[in-house]
A = this chain, B = another copy of it.
Amino acid sequence: MKFPNSYYISDYKLPINDYFVFGLSVDCVIFGYQEGEIKVLLVQRGLEPFKGNWALIGDLVEPKQNLCDAANNVLEKLTGLKNIYLKQFFAFGSVDRHPLDRVVTVGYFSLVNSMDYKPIASSWAKSARWFNINDLPELAFDHHTILLKGIETLKDEVRHKPTGFELLPPKFTLLELQLLYEALLGYKFDKSNFRKKIIEMNILKPLKEAKENVSHRPAQLFEFDEKRYRALEKEGFSFEL
């Protein structure tokens, strides 16, 4: 038991110890990008409840574990992916969201280049793979709701921060970048104007190399200049497409 009931002198309805009964979990929404499609990483549950269903990458938090550590750990435990920057986006706390007991879950999301990360299912995950965001299976718990909120956050993030670059290989062409943003935001850009805008932002480092193995004129390759972006950000620059 945690506290003597006399500790909190106030008007609680229950003995103070009866408040320390919540389960806490984290759920990761990992977005990827491949062949012009936005993907999300899911795992198949190998245990009850929802055994056999696909679900977001999540689990209960240890009593002595920081929230953000829990998110990173569960991602590695279930899929083998590590060193991925996870960003918290929302806490889901409906009384009935978990069929067995009161579990509040905190959602994290990330963007990665799905080519670079080959998930390997382990622990209770029977399998793990990328799903096209427009072709999802039925999900466990309220994971569909969480995913929708994650997509909303993604769009907001992508429009106001240069997060999108994380989905591309380190060296990319301007057209590849444009196609990525078109997929993420759901509308088209004028090619010429997109180039101009992004180049004038001064956050891309032009390389002397060109794309290879294309059956037409190869385009110049660029790198995202993170150092430069951080510097510009300090001066008040804000990315916006």
State the A residues within 8 Å of B (CB): 2-3, 7-14, 18-24, 46-48, 60-68, 88, 90-95, 100-102, 104, 106, 123-124
Contact = CB atoms under 8 A, between A and B. Distances in A.
Contact of A104 (B7, B67, B92): B67
Contact of A94 (B19, B48, B66): B66
A3 B94 CA distance: 20
A19 B123 contact: no
Contact of A93 (B48, B68, B100): B68
Contacts of A95: 64-66
A157 to B, nearest CB: 12
Given A10-B124, A24-B104, A47-B9, A66 B93 contact: yes
A55 to B, nearest CB: 13
A101 B64 contact: no
A19 to B, nearest CB: 5
B88 A22 contact: no
B7 A62 contact: no
